[in-house]
Amino acid sequence: MADRYWVGGTASWDGTAGTKWATTSGGAGNLTVTGSNMFQGLTNTAIGRIQFTGGTTNTFTSFVINGTLGNLLQLGSTNTTAVTLKKTGAWNVGANSTDGGFNTGLSFTAGDMDYLSISYVTGQVLAITTVTSNFLMFF
């Protein structure tokens, strides 16, 4: 089980060619993401640990991760400073997930994620901006 590292920082990874990163890339093991990044999506099928550098902000169009009964997937910061994770939609992290402490913006209720052990995470919902304007015509 090899550990994997995403060394990004100020990069923006869009979906023009599909999802750019999945935690299964490189096989089972732990994933550490450094720097503040923008991802199209983050998913997993392998159990391990996903850590982000504390004090950074990572933004996702889609963020769906799951552990299994008796084998929680660990999600958190690399230190005791919270990481900010932004995504579209509510942060419902699952009724079977555990709050390891120092989390904000997360709801431990049923949702699209479950069986997680979470510490030092600030969950934020991406605001969807709709621009409307009045049209003026002058002659």
CB-based contact 120:54 (threshold 8 Å): yes
- For the stretch 6-53, pLDDT in tens is 665 555 555 555 445 555 555 567 888 888 888 877 877 666 899 999
137 within domain boundaries: no
68 within domain boundaries: yes
130 within domain boundaries: no
The span from the CA of 130 to the CA of 44, in Å, is: 32
Half-sphere exposure of 121 (CA within 13 A, CB side): 27
Where on the phi/psi map is residue 78: left (φ > 0), alpha (ψ -120 to 50), or beta?
alpha
Chain centroid offset of residue 42 CA:
7
- For the stretch 59-83, pLDDT in tens is 888 888 899 999 899 999 999 999 9
DSSP state of 18: B
pTM (2 d.p.): 0.80
Per-residue model confidence (pLDDT) at position 19: 46
94 within domain boundaries: yes
How many folded domains does the chain comprise?
A: 1
112 within domain boundaries: yes
Residue 58 β-bridge partners: 37, 85
Q: What is the CA radius of gyration of the chain?
A: 17
109 within domain boundaries: yes
76 within domain boundaries: yes
Give the domain range for residue 78: 4-125
136 within domain boundaries: no
